[in-house]
A and B are shown apart, each in its own frame.
Chain A
Amino acid sequence: MATLQINNLHAKVAEEGGESILRGVDLEVNSGEIHALMGPNGSGKSTTAKVIAGHPAYEVTDGEITLVLDDEDVADIDEEVPAEKREWDLLALEPNERAALGIFLGFQYPAEIEGVTMTNFLRQALNAKAEEREELFEDEDEDEAEADEEESGYDTSPMEGNPDDGEIGVAEFQQLLKEKMELLDMDEKFAQRYLNAGFSGGEKKQNEVLQAAILEPAIAVLDEIDSGLDIDRLQDVSEGINALRDEQGTGVLQITHYQRILDYVEPDHVHVMIDGKIAESGGADLAEKLEDEGYDWVREQVYETA
């Protein structure tokens, strides 16, 4: 069971005199759990998500983000994974390295990439992730040996391409994609469409969940995945999120404005963020209280203690 630990996280916009947004966030998410992160606009929810994934627009000024892995999380690694490779300081890693360790960010406004089919993109992402994982967990002597090997060049014709060591094959991947798409009630045609290009808001959100289902992250941070969805689509997306937890044991940090999605995705924990900090935490009933009473009472509590 992987654990994402966020301690005293401070972050600002990465430019001179950039606005300080996170002011000491503490949060712990275990795989298999669903956490809802709620709060008014501008309180720092999306920034938290982006900083976890390593977005270059933000600069972390204090605090830590640590990912702790257990046996199950590294079961795919051939060799014994030593203790020092069980605990990762995410802030020292590139976004793709974080992804390789099992962090997934579901975007509120995902990028549209023309000319790249969903199938091609997802297969490449899956292979890139596997390759990066291997490198992260490889010990350093082997690393060098591999680099030498790469430098010695190819011995195949360019038409044949290089042998894809350990990569998922096209046919195998297509089967996987088909299964996952059925689960989310997505049309087969999606596989040949360009990544998010011309997708409706709902289709984009479904696509984010589909990607999480395929990449099988330990922790998925889903940024307002419920916004702009009609009720049918909301149910599909919710089913997908529940499946992430139930079938893959993914830990979910669900960022949302509304109680609505929590009717379908029942959270184990609910957190309220105000002014860049977690102001209140509780169970599912906290979300209901927020729905009824708004955020003002939390805000008042914050000011009283301040």
Chain B
Amino acid sequence: MSSDQDHLKETDTEARFEFKKEERSSFQAEKGLTEETIRVISEDKGEPEWMLKRRLRALEQFQEMPMPTDWPGQPDLSEVDVNEIIPYIRPDVETRESVDDWTDLPDDIKDTFDKLGIPEAEKNALSGVGAQYESEVVYQNMQEQWEEKGVIFCNMDEAVQEHGDLVREHFMTKCVPPSDNKFAALHGAIWSGGSFVYVPEDTTVEMPVQAYFRMNSEGMGQFEHTLIIAEENSEVHYIEGCSAPKYSAFNLHSGGVEVFVGEGAHVQYSTVQNWSKNTYNLNTKRALVEADGRMEWISGSMGSKATMLYPSTVLKGPGASDNHITIAFAGEGQNIDTGAKVYHNAPETKSTIESKSISKDGGRTNYRGLVHIADGAADSSTSVECDALMFDNESTSDTMPYMEINESTVDVAHEATVGKIGDEDVFYLQSRGLDDDDAKQMIVSGFIEPITEELPIEYAVELNRLVELEMEGSLG
């Protein structure tokens, strides 16, 4: 027995978790999400009692809430059986151990890496297995440089241990409470991993803070939590996810992102993500913005079978502002339902939403948005622009913008365009020497340009390449 225990100390968390599962036959036999499962997760992470309580409370809420099924035109979630959720951890953990071997990755993911031209060593790093030499080095350097200024950037599990007070105050309390929606509750119960960023008053972090997902090495990383706290007059740009697809035997991703933007602070949250085509991507992301603060969401969502994601911003203080830029791409069998929500709860608040979607081969994109201007939010303004681009007559795109305006002195603009990739446009470019594929690729690159121009160059390049691969239909 003692040699077993020694062995366990040398292995990582999930292997021990797995071991515990073996020990508790009742647990292994039981399907569905139970209190015992949550206790195992929490104990395994050595979490304080308060976090365990929060998890258990979230679990209760998850069990009480119905699945969202009555939204017009929403993706079909009938395949997402919550009673099957926990057993899915098993394949994830099992494959994680053998995924050091490149050949065990699913073909579509390997293909993508190949097409992106990523060498083997780098592939391992991007799939979260090997040493992430590039990002790790940057990460360390930044830590040293910022530690002196009081900036914190670490893994979320670590934050619970080392920055307990900050986390306890902010974690799923005022920003994304588990009661928000069924998947936020699920996330609250079984979250794991993610990033914690804290920027003190009057501090500007000049370089973007970059976090790569480490799905496989973090085990249940499909429920990662990101908590960003930017104090008064601070500034930070957080970039999440490398554009490399995440390996997943799992079929549900339910992340949570909470951003606190203090008075006069500025936070930009950028993400370029590419999910495998069997993933249900159901996330909750929200920012609370104090007076004169500014929040910017920039996201490129690729892959997944179905995505439901509406990053939202609550403009709490006068003069607070928000800017959303999103892009979605849906190919065959995919339904990407995404948009933005903004609550103007104070005067002189301002928001802009730019949403772009591309659909092809019968793919379906929806823009679902909500702008709420509260009574008393005088002199606020909002502008919503949704553009959809379709490749063919089989693909669909719907725009569902809701506007709730309870104040008269406001400026509201909404504009939506839906277009097919025009034969005339393609012919024009072909007549200049580009072949059919390159012509379409150029039109799509131009279409998403407002997003790529906001991203650091390497992310922009990768986003373009991913779009290119999606258009070849080669990601399977």
Binds A, one of B153-161, B305-313, B445-453: B445-453
- The minimal Cβ–Cβ distance linking B121 to chain A, given in whole angstroms, is 10
- The minimal Cβ–Cβ distance linking B418 to chain A, given in whole angstroms, is 15
Q: Mark A136-176, 1 if CB is under 8 A from B, else 0.
A: 00000000000000000111111101100000000000000
Is there a chain A Cβ closer than 8 Å to B443's Cβ?
yes
Alpha-carbon distance between A128 and B437 when the two chains are bound, in angstroms? 12
Is there a chain A Cβ closer than 8 Å to B399's Cβ?
no
Q: Which of A115, A125, A158 is the one whose CB lies under 8 Å from B434?
A: A125
Alpha-carbon distance between A104 and B428 when the two chains are bound, in angstroms? 10
Take A157-B119, A158-B118 as given contacts and tell me if A114 and B435 are in contact as well, using a CB distance cutoff of 8 Å: no
Q: Which of B438, B443, B465 is the one whose CB lies under 8 Å from A124?
A: B438
Is there a chain A Cβ closer than 8 Å to B72's Cβ?
no
Q: Closest residue of chain B to A160, judged by CB?
A: B117
Is B427 touching A158 in the complex (CB atoms < 8 A)? no
Alpha-carbon distance between A158 and B117 when the two chains are bound, in angstroms? 5
- Residue of B117, B422, B431, B465 with most partner-chain A CB within 10 A: B431
Q: Closest residue of chain A to B243, judged by CB?
A: A158
Q: Which of B118, B119, B439, B446 is the one whose CB lies under 8 Å from A194?
A: B446
User: Which chain A residues lie closer than 8 Å to B461 at the CB level?
Assistant: 158-159, 161
Is there a chain B Cβ closer than 8 Å to A22's Cβ?
no
Q: Closest residue of chain A to B435, judged by CB?
A: A96
- The minimal Cβ–Cβ distance linking A89 to chain B, given in whole angstroms, is 18
User: Which chain B residues lie closer than 8 Å to A99 at the CB level?
Assistant: 430-433
Is there a chain A Cβ closer than 8 Å to B107's Cβ?
no
- The minimal Cβ–Cβ distance linking B431 to chain A, given in whole angstroms, is 5
Alpha-carbon distance between A169 and B162 when the two chains are bound, in angstroms? 52
Take A157-B118, A162-B117, A194-B446 as given contacts and tell me if A111 and B433 are in contact as well, using a CB distance cutoff of 8 Å: no
Q: Which of A57, A126, A157 is the one whose CB lies under 8 Å from B423?
A: A57
Is there a chain A Cβ closer than 8 Å to B84's Cβ?
no
- The minimal Cβ–Cβ distance linking B90 to chain A, given in whole angstroms, is 33
Is there a chain A Cβ closer than 8 Å to B458's Cβ?
yes
Is there a chain A Cβ closer than 8 Å to B40's Cβ?
no
Alpha-carbon distance between A56 and B427 when the two chains are bound, in angstroms? 8
- The minimal Cβ–Cβ distance linking A125 to chain B, given in whole angstroms, is 4
Q: Mark A75-115, 1 if CB is under 8 A from B, else 0.
A: 00000000000000000001110111000110100110111
- The minimal Cβ–Cβ distance linking B342 to chain A, given in whole angstroms, is 25
- The minimal Cβ–Cβ distance linking A172 to chain B, given in whole angstroms, is 18
- The minimal Cβ–Cβ distance linking B361 to chain A, given in whole angstroms, is 20
Q: Which of A56, A105, A110, A156 is the one whose CB lies under 8 Å from B117?
A: A156
Is B427 touching A215 in the complex (CB atoms < 8 A)? no
Alpha-carbon distance between A194 and B425 when the two chains are bound, in angstroms? 14
Alpha-carbon distance between A113 and B429 when the two chains are bound, in angstroms? 9
Q: Closest residue of chain B to A105, judged by CB?
A: B431
Q: Closest residue of chain B to A129, judged by CB?
A: B433
Is there a chain B Cβ closer than 8 Å to A302's Cβ?
no
Q: Which of B116, B428, B430, B442 is the one whose CB lies under 8 Å from A158?
A: B116
Q: Which of B116, B432, B436, B445 is the one whose CB lies under 8 Å from A94?
A: B436
Q: Closest residue of chain B to A110, judged by CB?
A: B428
Is there a chain A Cβ closer than 8 Å to B202's Cβ?
no
The range of chain B's interface size is 20 to 34
- Residue of A96, A121, A155, A195 with most partner-chain B CB within 10 A: A96
Q: Which of B122, B428, B446 is the one whose CB lies under 8 Å from A115?
A: B446
User: Which chain A residues lie closer than 8 Å to B448 at the CB level?
Assistant: 115
Alpha-carbon distance between A211 and B119 when the two chains are bound, in angstroms? 39
Is A132 touching B449 in the complex (CB atoms < 8 A)? no
Is B447 touching A128 in the complex (CB atoms < 8 A)? no
Alpha-carbon distance between A156 and B434 when the two chains are bound, in angstroms? 24
Is A211 touching B432 in the complex (CB atoms < 8 A)? yes
Take A115-B447, A153-B117 as given contacts and tell me if A126 and B442 are in contact as well, using a CB distance cutoff of 8 Å: no
User: Which chain A residues lie closer than 8 Å to B458 at the CB level?
Assistant: 159
User: Which chain A residues lie closer than 8 Å to B446 at the CB level?
Assistant: 113-116, 194-195
- The minimal Cβ–Cβ distance linking B435 to chain A, given in whole angstroms, is 5
Is A94 touching B434 in the complex (CB atoms < 8 A)? no
Is A95 touching B431 in the complex (CB atoms < 8 A)? yes
Take A94-B435, A115-B448, A132-B433 as given contacts and tell me if A153 and B114 are in contact as well, using a CB distance cutoff of 8 Å: yes
User: Which chain A residues lie closer than 8 Å to B6 at the CB level?
Assistant: none
Is there a chain A Cβ closer than 8 Å to B424's Cβ?
yes
Is there a chain A Cβ closer than 8 Å to B100's Cβ?
no
Alpha-carbon distance between A53 and B428 when the two chains are bound, in angstroms? 10
Is there a chain A Cβ closer than 8 Å to B462's Cβ?
yes
Alpha-carbon distance between A111 and B431 when the two chains are bound, in angstroms? 11
Is there a chain B Cβ closer than 8 Å to A55's Cβ?
yes
Q: Closest residue of chain A to B423, judged by CB?
A: A56
Q: Closest residue of chain B to A197, judged by CB?
A: B446
Take A115-B446, A115-B447, A157-B122 as given contacts and tell me if A124 and B434 are in contact as well, using a CB distance cutoff of 8 Å: yes
User: Which chain A residues lie closer than 8 Å to B462 at the CB level?
Assistant: 158
User: Which chain A residues lie closer than 8 Å to B423 at the CB level?
Assistant: 56-57
Is A128 touching B428 in the complex (CB atoms < 8 A)? no
- The minimal Cβ–Cβ distance linking A216 to chain B, given in whole angstroms, is 11
Is B443 touching A113 in the complex (CB atoms < 8 A)? yes
Alpha-carbon distance between A215 and B116 when the two chains are bound, in angstroms? 30
Take A111-B424, A114-B449, A162-B117 as given contacts and tell me if A53 and B431 are in contact as well, using a CB distance cutoff of 8 Å: yes
User: Which chain A residues lie closer than 8 Å to B118 at the CB level?
Assistant: 157-158
Q: Closest residue of chain A to B451, judged by CB?
A: A115
Q: Closest residue of chain A to B430, judged by CB?
A: A95
Q: Closest residue of chain A to B116, judged by CB?
A: A158
Is A121 touching B433 in the complex (CB atoms < 8 A)? no
- The minimal Cβ–Cβ distance linking B130 to chain A, given in whole angstroms, is 15
- The minimal Cβ–Cβ distance linking B356 to chain A, given in whole angstroms, is 10
- Residues on A lying within 8 angstroms of B by beta carbon are 53-57, 94-96, 98-100, 104-105, 107, 110-111, 113-116, 121, 124-126, 128-129, 132, 153-159, 161-162, 194-195, 211, 215
Known: A100-B433, A115-B449. 13 other contacts (CB 8 A): A54-B431, A95-B427, A95-B430, A96-B432, A99-B431, A113-B442, A115-B448, A116-B443, A125-B433, A128-B432, A157-B117, A158-B118, A195-B446
Query: What are some 18 contacts across the A-B interface (CB < 8 A)?
Result: A56-B427, A96-B432, A96-B439, A99-B432, A105-B431, A113-B443, A121-B429, A124-B434, A125-B432, A126-B433, A128-B434, A153-B114, A153-B117, A154-B117, A155-B119, A159-B458, A194-B446, A215-B433
A-B complex: 3 closest residue pairs judged by Cβ atoms: A115-B446, A115-B449, A129-B433
